[in-house]
Structure 1
Amino acid sequence: MTGPEPVVDVPEGYRVGVWEVREPLASGAFATVYAARRAHGHRARDGAVALPERAALKFLPTGTRTPRQLRYLEELARQEIELLSRLRSPRLIRLYEVLTVDDHRRPELDGVTVLVLEQAASSLEDLLARSPAPPEAQALLTQVCEGLHQLHEAGWVHGDLKAANILLMEDGSARLADFNTAAEMQGTHAYTHAFVTPDYTAPELLWPEVDERGTRIRPTADTWAFGVLAHLVLTGTHPLPGTTPQARSEAAIRYARGTEELRLSPELPDDWRDIIADCLGRTHEERVAHDSRALLRRVEQASGGGAARRPRRRARFARRHPVLTALAAAVLVSTAGLAGAVYAYVSDDDGAPVYRALDPASAFPTGPDGAVVYGYHRCPSDSVCFFSEHNGNGEMCSWKDADSDWLSGESTCAWARDHPVRSAFNNIADARELHDVEFFRGPDFSPTGKDRRRMAQRTGCNAVNSMGNLAGTYAPRSHRLVDSCSSRTVLWTILSVLS
């Protein structure tokens, strides 16, 4: 397996229930997936559920984190289990059983939740990497749309529809997978965790509506994602300009504001051009008329009944390559900001970051009145939040307590692995005894390397209720709560940016 280190490291040959773990297939922010085979001598049936010879085991670390982290991971697992247990739809990946590891000899595995899933041969992402705009594109998109309709009709929103989360079976047919961020509708909205994939994110989710139940999301967010996916599958290109996800996201923002138009590929068939243009309506209101039922009918017509025609089986490829179930935690899309003058409120030997101001006339993004858009309001109450872009914009990681390693655990801050922190907000409750936050370059509240300017050898310390943009390159790896940031080691500028 290439990519990130496994969230749950399981040795080959390890037994879970009747399953013997084989090679790792994929790993993301919240889980690791392994190939598995049914152990020799075990019957093919377990009660009323037929168990296949091979399966994919999705390990979620629900027994190996702090209580706060466990609650979060257990909620992610509960959502996926509930959806797959209730919906036995042919276009959704199948769940065979749910197991819990009971092994006190291995504390790193004890209590871990294991989802035993249908094993696929590949993913749509892998197919597109080998063959952009494959000949079976229209048939695959019809099957994806079928799965989306099955979800929406049952009252669920996928929340992270993308090529990596569409698995291809041995016969070449498509299944929707990875329902960590799926959410059940509650009236006109569903509520989910704020983790999305930039290239597939509807514009309204760049500044999501958040309340005590989570981030509001509607089925039209999946409609937008399907439009992006369809353009990518049919042409090998994205429907919005840009060479990076961030650039394409910024183009989506401009498009949503009416300052940029879609640039759909001339290679699109006319029917598909109309479908994609409707899926990519600028607002939720423009997309709401194109629900999954109407969308599926149009997609079937455009593909000439493609759902009935399975893509050609690629048995030779299937034997060479295992399933790659992409579980990468997506986080909120970066919305960028432009730097202005640096405030000179830092001594030569302390551990405080330097705040920088933004020029409102040139900063991006701005609202309809030209004012700078601030995203600090996304930070949950009684939490500390760090952002990938200025003014609380971009991707966000938040915690209510200390975290000794941002790159593992419940609130894994994946983007901080290779992207600096550009703004911060200490929203910890004043009533707490420990309400200031100091953060460090290394895990376990330690420095990495030696910085002669910082006697405290910490990246910074954020006083309660303070927020602002950071100058320089800050790559924290851990943080802890303290009673006070002393005046010798920190002089914070509290920016009055929220009205």
Structure 2
Amino acid sequence: MTGSTHGQPYAVPVPKGYRVGRWEVREPLASGAFATVYAARNTLPGAELPPSAALKFLPTGTRTPRQLHHLRELAEREVELLKRLRAPRLIRMHEALTVEDPDHPELDGATVLVLERAEGSLDILLDQAPAPASGPALLAQICEGLNQLHHAGWVHGDLKPGNVLLMKDGSVRLADFNTAAELEGTHAYSPVFATPDYTPPELLWPEVSERGTRIRPTADIWAYGVLAHVVLTGTYPLPGSTTEARADAAMRYARGAEELRLSPRLPAVWQQIIADCLSPTHQQRAAHDTVTLLRRVEEAAGVTGSARLPRLRPRRWRRPALVTAVAAALLAGAVTVTYAIMRDDGPSYGYHRCPFRSVCFFSEQNGNGDMCAWEGDDPDWLSGRETCMWTADRPVRSIFYNGDESTGLGGVAYFRGRDYTPVGEDITRPNSRMRTGCTSQHAQGNLAGTYAPLSHRLIEHCGDSGDRTPSTEPEKSQDPSP
């Protein structure tokens, strides 16, 4: 997706003032081969949705049957990822809609993603200021987003400056996930579409099955190496004045017929990072995953290290049915599109924000929304050194205890009252030390959201017969609220 629409036709022309749900279309922001993004105004502002957003129109209701199938697949991939993954470095989707407008057949049936509004994209910044001074810090955030994506078991598949968005506060979001793919073991399957300058040699002429191209996380590692070289020097790492020439150079490099000649303007530490990312084979690149890469990049950029992501439970993989909620919603003419989750065990990815050795409480289910985190007990959330002020008037809806097993503290008990005091329904709960609930280490918990705890403490076990009695029950969060 390019950050500028000047001088090129829109993939999906939408008139200014057009209404989709509560959103009124304003000026175009960006356009690519398959979609166009417009600024939008919320005509029914409220607490749930922001006053402005970006609408991404994908023409899933028009075109030929073959094009329609392809575009629906792209839309399904992006909506599914954005529904399931909430992370600080990934663009957030507020809702997904389907246009119902037979009077405008070019728009009828289109999928519309309502996204966070960004101020611009990295490609626009690079056009205005090649090798910007903020480049290293931006690269650290981009790498953090890539690590969040890989940690959740997804491959981006099209990392490039046009798919890196810059927010009003200067932070970075990765975007455009219509070619993203979820790993099935060591591989994922992506549509046959990529940007050659950011594609590793083994995928420039890939084998294509009926499920698409087999890709691995190392494809994103290569793309990150190219992007880092472009951001820091304003040039591509492989020679050639055209995309085709650079692709040929990449193939010769992979065969050992050409050496990698990185810009001499790169500091030595960045030279080594980029050289590792641009290792000629998948096997060589596999030694540099985003976990280790992120720490190296943050050190090279001189920025504070990001929070460690929680260890996730092993997951059983199962292939989803081909008919998803998108297809059903389109056929039924539904407005709001929802998606079935493809794997149903292990913590949802929103919990990734919880730092290691901490317990975190969230304002939305599945670890989303506002978060408060502690490494120890807190007898009063609304006063003292660490506070969680949003709980003064909003309930807690989910919990994640990203604890350290070596401490021997296997659970966190939480209470409606300050100083670990039972209040209201806590008093009536049997066999629970009169606490509101308890969450075990590395366990997730969604709550009914009818109250806000005001204190918590770490305990040995979440046993039903007492806080320090080992429990044989499955790990869960206890919520007595109706």
- TM-score by length of structure 1 reads 0.59
Structure 2 distance, partners of 1:172, 1:83, is 24
- Cα displacement (A) at 1:43: 3.1
Pairing 1:82-481 to 2, within 5 Å after superposition: 82-305=80-303
- Cα displacement (A) at 1:36: 0.8
Structure 2 distance, partners of 1:7, 1:303, is 37
Q: Do residues 32 (structure 1) and 30 (structure 2) align?
A: no
RMSD over equivalenced CA pairs, Å: 1.2
Pairing 1:36-51 to 2, within 5 Å after superposition: 36-39=40-43, 42-45=44-47, 50-51=48-49
Structure 1 distance, partners of 2:293, 2:35, is 32
Structure 2 distance, partners of 1:196, 1:178, is 12
Structure 1 distance, partners of 2:46, 2:249, is 52
Structure 2 distance, partners of 1:133, 1:104, is 48
Structure 1 distance, partners of 2:78, 2:188, is 15
Structure 2 distance, partners of 1:262, 1:122, is 32
Give the partner amino acid of 1:44.
Answer: G
- Cα displacement (A) at 1:208: 1.0
Q: Render the CA deviation track for 1:313-336: whole Å, top value 9, x for unaligned.
A: xxxxxxxxxxxxxxxxxxxxxxxx
Give the partner amino acid of 2:126.
Answer: L
Residue 446 (structure 2) aligns with = none
Contact 1:151 1:157 (C-alpha < 8 Å) held by counterparts: yes
Q: Render the CA deviation track for 1:157-176: whole Å, top value 9, x for unaligned.
A: 00000011100001111110
Q: Render the CA deviation track for 1:433-480: whole Å, top value 9, x for unaligned.
A: xxxxxxxxxxxxxxxxxxxxxxxxxxxxxxxxxxxxxxxxxxxxxxxx
Give the partner amino acid of 1:164.
Answer: G
After superposition, the Cα gap between the structure-2 partners of 1:307 and 1:199, relative to the gap in structure 1 and judged at 3 Å, is farther
- Cα displacement (A) at 1:126: 0.7
Contact 1:143 1:307 (C-alpha < 8 Å) held by counterparts: no
Contact 2:45 2:51 (C-alpha < 8 Å) held by counterparts: no
Give the partner amino acid of 2:38.
Answer: Y
Most deviating of 186-195 and 61-70: 61-70
Identity %: 69
After superposition, the Cα gap between the structure-2 partners of 1:64 and 1:157, relative to the gap in structure 1 and judged at 3 Å, is same
- Cα displacement (A) at 1:66: 2.9
Structure 2 distance, partners of 1:125, 1:89, is 22
Structure 1, gaps ≥5 residues long: 309-499
Structure 2, gaps ≥5 residues long: 307-482
User: Structure 1 residue aligned with 2:69, among 48, 68, 71?
Assistant: 71
Contact 2:295 2:305 (C-alpha < 8 Å) held by counterparts: no
Contact 1:142 1:307 (C-alpha < 8 Å) held by counterparts: no
Q: Render the CA deviation track for 1:220-243: whole Å, top value 9, x for unaligned.
A: 000000000111111111111111
Residue 440 (structure 1) aligns with = none
- Cα displacement (A) at 1:306: 5.4
Q: Render the CA deviation track for 1:87-119: whole Å, top value 9, x for unaligned.
A: 101000110000111112222211111000111
Give the partner amino acid of 2:41.
Answer: R
Structure 1 distance, partners of 2:12, 2:124, is 23
Q: Do residues 2 (structure 1) and 6 (structure 2) align?
A: yes
Structure 2 distance, partners of 1:75, 1:197, is 18
- Cα displacement (A) at 1:53: 1.2
Residue 478 (structure 1) aligns with = none
Structure 1 distance, partners of 2:149, 2:75, is 18
Give the partner amino acid of 2:46.
Answer: A
After superposition, the Cα gap between the structure-2 partners of 1:306 and 1:254, relative to the gap in structure 1 and judged at 3 Å, is farther
- Cα displacement (A) at 1:307: 6.2
Give the partner amino acid of 1:174.
Answer: V
SS, match of residue 26 in structure 1: strand
Q: Render the CA deviation track for 1:340-379: whole Å, top value 9, x for unaligned.
A: xxxxxxxxxxxxxxxxxxxxxxxxxxxxxxxxxxxxxxxx
Contact 1:139 1:306 (C-alpha < 8 Å) held by counterparts: no
**Alignment: residue pair count:** 302
Contact 2:159 2:223 (C-alpha < 8 Å) held by counterparts: yes
SS, match of residue 299 in structure 2: helix
Structure 1 distance, partners of 2:65, 2:55, is 24
- Cα displacement (A) at 1:138: 0.7
Structure 2 distance, partners of 1:305, 1:8, is 40
Contact 1:4 1:28 (C-alpha < 8 Å) held by counterparts: no
- Cα displacement (A) at 1:244: 1.3
Q: Render the CA deviation track for 1:380-429: whole Å, top value 9, x for unaligned.
A: xxxxxxxxxxxxxxxxxxxxxxxxxxxxxxxxxxxxxxxxxxxxxxxxxx
Contact 2:156 2:220 (C-alpha < 8 Å) held by counterparts: yes
- Cα displacement (A) at 1:3: 4.0
Q: Render the CA deviation track for 1:246-287: whole Å, top value 9, x for unaligned.
A: 111111111111111111111111111111000000100010
SS, match of residue 132 in structure 1: coil
SS, match of residue 126 in structure 2: helix
Bigger relative contact order, structure 1 or 2, given CA contacts below 8 A and separation 6+? 1
Give the partner amino acid of 1:32.
Answer: T
Structure 1 distance, partners of 2:22, 2:193, is 33
Give the partner amino acid of 1:18.
Answer: R
Structure 2 distance, partners of 1:304, 1:277, is 20
Contact 1:30 1:61 (C-alpha < 8 Å) held by counterparts: yes
Structure 1 distance, partners of 2:8, 2:179, is 20
Contact 1:142 1:303 (C-alpha < 8 Å) held by counterparts: yes
Residue 58 (structure 1) aligns with = 56
